[in-house]
Structure 1
Amino acid sequence: MKDQDLTVTITVDKSPKEAFDAINNVRGWWSEEVKGGTEQLNDEFTYKARDLHRCTMKLIEVIPNQKVVWLVLDNYFSFTEDQTEWKGTKVVFEISGQNGKTQIRFTHQGLVPQHECYEVCSNAWTGYITGSLYKLITTGKGEPNPKES
């Protein structure tokens, strides 16, 4: 069985550059708790959602206005037994022009239905991509997780 990786596609009435810039503004759509660089090749950043989830990402491919790839270096979920499910997986954003619009194809390579976190993670990613990232690209304001006090 192939093509089991989680994939979510959105289309926006904005330029590929606007989509690319929004994707790299990780604090603007995923979480205000992101620490580290999120735009340049080899940048590393950490994501934290309360005591539920922590991960470290490294940008391993950055093609302006076309593609961004994160490699998951480290990951922790409070709700799974297997803490290695995300380690070594890749989060891929592919940007392309489609009939005057811009398509963003998000794929979490290695996040497959057999994983314990799949249902929770696929629902979360789908919400962030179709909701928060979409809004950031189209309106300039996303809905990231707020800073924790």
Structure 2
Amino acid sequence: MNIKTLEDLFIHALSDVYSAEKQITRALPKMARAATDPELVTAFQAHLEQTHGQIERIDKLVEATPNVKIKRMKCLAMEGLVEEGQEIIDEVEKGPVRDAGLIAAAQKVEHYEIATYGTLCALAELLKYSEGKALLAETLKEEKDTDIKLSKLATMKVNIAG
């Protein structure tokens, strides 16, 4: 993609995170099946539902914002993060240590999303996409909340069991 303007950069980042969210919808069910801690399973299932809502928000942003269209692309960063999660599933025996690894992998995903949605919010503000910024800020808050929940689950339960 030829990026020459802030709007081009916004569209590129939005398209990238759209691909990332789609990849996450395929990874989260695998992570939920691989986890043993019931709270972790529930957290992954809840995040899957949340991710579907985040995709819908991106679709809504595109509909509401003239000149913004999603480009077909693959988020290579998310592809790598998903692959790391799959390695944990493949290489670590089912139990508390795998659960700790799955939380770590999920938090890497959350941190990537937090960085991306933070950037998108800043760009949306500069571009005066007020409705888009509000939609992106809602997703950013969800990503931060999920990261906090995963940290609490790790430090108060899963890591202690490992």
Task: Mark yes or no: TM-score above 0.5.
Answer: no
Which bin holds the TM-score, normalised by the shorter protein? 0.3 to 0.5
TM-score normalised to the size of structure 2?
A: 0.31
TM-score normalised to the size of structure 1?
A: 0.33
Structure index of larger Rg: 2
Higher helix share: 2
